[in-house]
Amino acid sequence: MKRLVLTITCPDRVGIVAGVTGFIASLGGWVLEAAQHGDLDTGRFFQRIEVLADSLPFGPSEFALRFAPLAEELDLTWRLSDTDVPKQVVVLASRQDHCLADLLYRWRSGDLPCAIPLVISNHTDLAPLVEAAGIPFAHVPVVAGDTASAFEEICARFEDVGGDVMVLARYMQIVPPEVCERYAGRIINIHHSFLPSFIGARPYHQAHARGVKLIGATCHYATADLDAGPIIEQDTARISHAEGPEQLVALGRDIERAVLARGLRWHLEDRVLLNGTRTVVFP
């Protein structure tokens, strides 16, 4: 069932909901799902509305054209997505395959509503896994001290395939700040820790050394501040003194897979809106 998804971010004020829903109603639009949030701390308003496309007298281009004057009047930052047009997901990975393999399985099974036109890696280890799925694989090595050149190629390949979102599926390289800024809100990372605790490398070993009783993983947008971007999703598992670092790593892989998949799916469904250093995630 084809739907149009309208997302809105703007300064909060009286009349936004009435204006937007009134516009949709004036077209005979059938609202299937609606969610909104007003943030008293930031004074920002967030809204997500799904409309049955067949209930409208025209397509998304004409809808956008007619909605633009209202959006300007209400000072809306908005986006309109067509669920019949899958977002293009470019996955970056290194040598560990658990997150990539899980995404490929969910993509093949239809659980992730997207296309995956390309997988990029700084190693060749995962090429057989990717090629077996019928997806092009690109090896872009990263030379120590020259990350910029590698990311110039990565960005060029991302643009060539019409990439909408870049997913770091345990891609063990730091994304340069200028790339994070260029694709703000479009680079999704999985960090194998319940951020903000234990940032950087070997977080499970850090957690074990501190004797924590919960370990977790965090799906977040990549920013220039390492492991400090707006959080999309998190989850945890309870552990005890009996588990060593390697057992924590094994348990953590399961959490990482699930958290990354959920965060990516919500992004693909336009359920995640940026609110400064935080996010608004509509269920």
Which two three-digit tokens encode residue 38?
Answer: 């007003």
- Owner of token pair 């234990």: 198
Q: Up-side HSE of residue 244: CA atoms within 13 Å toward CB? A: 1
In three-state secondary structure terms, 61 is helix
Cα angle: 77, vertex 78, 83; to 5 degrees: 165
Is residue 227 flagged as an active site residue? yes
Contact 27, 57 (CB under 8 A): yes
Judged by phi (left if over 0) then psi (alpha if -120 to 50, else beta), residue 66 lies in alpha
From CA 246, how far away is CA 37, in angstroms rounded?
41
Which two three-digit tokens encode residue 93?
Answer: 């990975």
Contact 83, 45 (CB under 8 A): no
The residue annotated as part of the active site, out of 227, 235, 254, 270, is 227
Other beta carbons within 10 angstroms of residue 172's beta carbon come to 14
Contact 184, 223 (CB under 8 A): yes
143-148: long-range contacts, CB 8 A cutoff, minimum separation 24? 147/173, 147/174, 147/176, 148/176
Cα angle: 208, vertex 249, 102; to 5 degrees: 150
Nearest Cα residue to 47 out of 63, 59, 34, 56: 34
Q: Provide the annotated active-site residues.
A: 227
